[in-house]
Amino acid sequence: MDFKPGKEAYTKLYLGYLTFFIFSILIAGAVFTLASEVRFFIWFIVIGVNALLWILILPLNVLWIKKISYHISEKSITINQGIITKTEQNINFAKITDFQLHRSLYDRFLNIGSIRIQTAGQSTSNATGYEGTLIGISGWQKLYPDLKARINDEKVIDAKVDSTAGKGEINLEILNELKQIRQLLEKK
């Protein structure tokens, strides 16, 4: 199954920048009424920062979202992303311990969600503490339960394989351990 973040992810990005713009204008207006000596500098900084965000950083973020793609196969989840440096991240279902659904205020308003992937040996290079994240998912209501069921199915299959394959070996280890204990007790 191949998919990309929904169009709502772009709307969320615009709303985030708009929120920052409104709050920066409100804060600048409050400081403007308090400090008369630095009025010009406050507006210069606020306009400069917002112009930089809207002219340079917003288009880069839109392009970044456009370049994200996901592929879910029978054995793994693949996340492709990057503008200049391309990254392909493969996360095997056997290593996944859980999925976490994250929905911010804007996500709930736009009916999208992000699914965070947790593994037993999570990457230390990732500051979020998650191995990967599927962002801006429009069909999260169906995808999230499907992914959760998939890791539960993997765990059940692994448990069955472990319980049947290692029974004889475990019994031999227990028997050898008991023999060693008996020998130690007989020496005393």
pLDDT tens-digit series, residues 13-58? 999 999 999 998 888 887 777 766 777 777 888 889 889 988 988 8
CA distances from 186 to 178, 179, 180, 182, 183 (A): 12, 11, 10, 6, 5
End-to-end CA distance of the chain: 66
Taking alpha carbons only, the member of 44, 42, 47, 49 closest to residue 28 is 42
Q: What is the pTM of this model?
A: 0.69
Token output for 76: 């793994």
For the chain, give the mean pLDDT. 83
- Output phi, psi for 5, to 5 deg: -60, 145
114/101 Cα distance (integer angstroms) = 6
- Alpha helices, H only, 53-139: 58-66, 105-110
Query: Residues 62-106: pLDDT tens digits?
Result: 999 999 999 999 889 999 999 999 999 998 888 888 899 999 999
pLDDT: which is higher, 7 or 153: 7
